[in-house]
Amino acid sequence: MNMRTLISTFTLVASLAFAAGASAQCDTIASLCEKNITAEYIPDGQFYRALLHDDEQAEFNLTLFGGTTYRVAACSGTSDGNLIFSVFDKDRNLLFSNKEYNNDPYWDLVVANTLEVTINAELDPRRSTSGCAVMLIGFKK
Amino acid sequence: MNVRLFYPLALAAAMAALLSACNSGSPQDHAVNAGADSLSVKPGESGQLLNVQGKLFSIPSPVQAALLIKKADLPYRQSLPLATDSVQRFTSKDKRALALGMLGADLAYRTVYKDGQAAIKTLRAIEQVSSQLNLSNAFDKELVDAFKRNLSSEDSLLRFSGKAYRAADIYLKNDQQEDVSASVLAGGWIESLFLSLGDATDKLDPKVATRLAEQKNTLGNLIALLSQANTQPELVKQLQGLKTVLDGVKTTYTFVKPTLDVAKKTTYINSATSAEVPPETLNAIVAKVREIRSSIIA
């Protein structure tokens, strides 16, 4: 096997190793983040995650139904407060951002009428420059 | 493939398999690794877990639909959900994934109507289908037993099923089976709509009609997810037909400034919305939903 072949093998293996490691990282964060969806909330059954680097943002699109209280939990890394999440309506009006509240890892949204929202998640550059962003959603009965 | 290309690929595949074996836990194992250190992400490799051009989509939980049906006081129709003794009819991976989602919606429906025995049968059917999809650790005997022990607590049952479906979703996404994950969501969504229509003799409840009209965006999300997975072209085509019908729903949105209760960590979203559905559009939506559901179980 020549040097070129070795390099390409190494690159391929590194990429695959990264993908496997990233999945494990997201998995761990999801476990830690689940504590924020407390017993009063029913998990929505889905797992949202994205790998972020520097100022990249993940965009989560969802419909919030009227008459429902949602809990949004957003986590990255193994401690709270690494992830900034902001909720916008379809006209990009800001409805909430945890940035103003110490990057709180969870927040409740009481929705009067059904609306489409986008949740943008980004790493707080003061705390982290890369990592897996995990978002979990629960709702009250 | 020439030999020069084969060696690195073979070596990479072997090492990747080894790494995968180290990292891919069972659906319920993910809690065990909670103490692991976080991993740095290298430049240029970020975003590879993102879905559909950097966007992630959420599909409403079937539990929400079941709760709405109950709230609207619709009569319980025991024969509407999938027959639990007929799940062997789903022989392909794609059909099984759809069935798993549908059974999740049926489980929520039976649970909110407190039909415990039928709910347990549904859970057993879920166990059977999930095992065929290699997801048996998310829906194992332990879950069935916990379900039986808590039959009188609707909240616990809904929570159990939400957690189990999330565990399955985590496993599927970590295992790069996004296509199966999307199909499970699609099955749950279609079944939820189908259950909310009641049977042919039921008059459509206005709350349910409004909820149907509010599905336009969700349907767009679902089509995006399924199109990316590219394993259900026929279903995507049918859903696009439904979307054409839903485009006939007129919606309005007026932004109202949210209010905050910082002590309770709560934001009240007060924006006003409305959805106007002409009767012929509503009838067309109902017909399309029934048609899509029939073709899945055919």
Of the candidates B31, B58, B188, the beta carbon closest to that of A48 is on: B58
Residue from B25, B184, B136 nearest A23 by CA: B25
ipTM of the complex as predicted:
0.88
Residue B79 lies in a domain: yes
Residue B15 lies in a domain: no
Residue B204 lies in a domain: yes
Interchain proximity A60–B272, CB inside 8 Å: no
Interchain proximity B56–A48, CB inside 8 Å: yes
Interchain proximity A95–B8, CB inside 8 Å: no
Tell me how far apart the alpha carbons of residues B230 and A21 are, in angstroms, rounded to a whole number. 26
- When divided into structural domains, chain B yields a total of 1
Question: pLDDT, tens digit, for every residue of A72-84?
Answer: 999 999 999 999 9
**Read out DSSP for A117-136?**
EEEEEEE-TTT-SEEEEEEE
Residue B10 lies in a domain: no
Structural domain of B158: 56-297
**For range A44-65, the mean pLDDT:** 93
To the nearest 10 degrees (0 to 180), the angle between helices B62-71 and B206-213 is: 150
Contact residues, chain B, for A106 at CB < 8 Å: 265
- In 3-state terms, what secondary structure has residue B105? helix
Q: Is the CA virtual torsion B71, B72, B78, B80 positive or negative?
A: negative
Of the candidates A9, A54, A112, the beta carbon closest to that of B8 is on: A9
* Domains of chain A in sequence order: 3-140 (2.60.120.380)
How far does the CA of residue A126 sit from the closest CA of chain B (Å)? 15
pLDDT at B53: 52
Rg (CA), chain A: 18
CA-nearest residue to B65 within chain A is A65
**Distances from the Cα of B55 to the Cα of B52, B225, B240, angstroms:** 5, 10, 20
Contact residues, chain A, for B166 at CB < 8 Å: 43-47, 136
Per-10-residue mean pLDDT of chain B, 298 residues long, equals: 49 47 43 31 39 74 94 94 94 96 97 95 95 90 88 93 93 91 96 93 86 92 92 96 94 96 98 91 94 96
pLDDT at B41: 35
Banded pLDDT at A25 (limits 50, 70, 90): confident
A19 has a pLDDT exceeding 60: no
Tell the burial category of A25 from Cβ atoms under 10 Å away from its Cβ (0-12, 13-18, 19+): buried
Q: CB of B102 within 8 A of CB of B82? A: yes
